[in-house]
Amino acid sequence: MPVAERLLQALAPKGLCPACASQQQSEQYTLTVLMQYLAEQASFRALYKASAGLCLPHFKAALRVAQREDVVRFLIEVQLETLTRLGAELGEYLRKHDYQFSHEPYGSEADAFVRATEVLVGKKPRTERHA
């Protein structure tokens, strides 16, 4: 058996990592609570609509958790609005890369390409190391 194959077998998980399992349970609980609040409180819907929304992996997970059709429609509406705004910012970012407009200063579109990536794949949480 080749060395790489033996190493991959040795490094293969023997079971579910307890930290990963805990994180998955926490995410599931958080999404369930989010769906409850969106279903029951109009003021919370307004706050959610003003937020940056969910990344695509969590948006898909939220759709699986949501039980009410009105909540699903609301999630889709907000996600479309968020992606439309982000698309416009990406367009502006690209426009300012054209030599004819490169003298124009950047605004909120300056990091649109980073935010677009985070929306598509999720954002890895920052962890601080304690000495």
Residue type at position 10 = A
- pLDDT, one tens digit per residue, over 6-60 is 888 888 888 888 888 999 999 999 999 999 999 999 999 999 999 988 999 999 9
| pTM, rounded to two decimals | 0.74
**CB-based burial of residue 71 (10 Å sphere; 0-12 exposed, 13-18 middle, 19+ buried)?**
buried
**71 Cβ partners below 8 Å, 6+ apart?**
35, 38, 39
- pLDDT, one tens digit per residue, over 53-87 is 899 999 999 999 999 999 999 999 999 999 999 99
pLDDT beyond 90 at 105: no
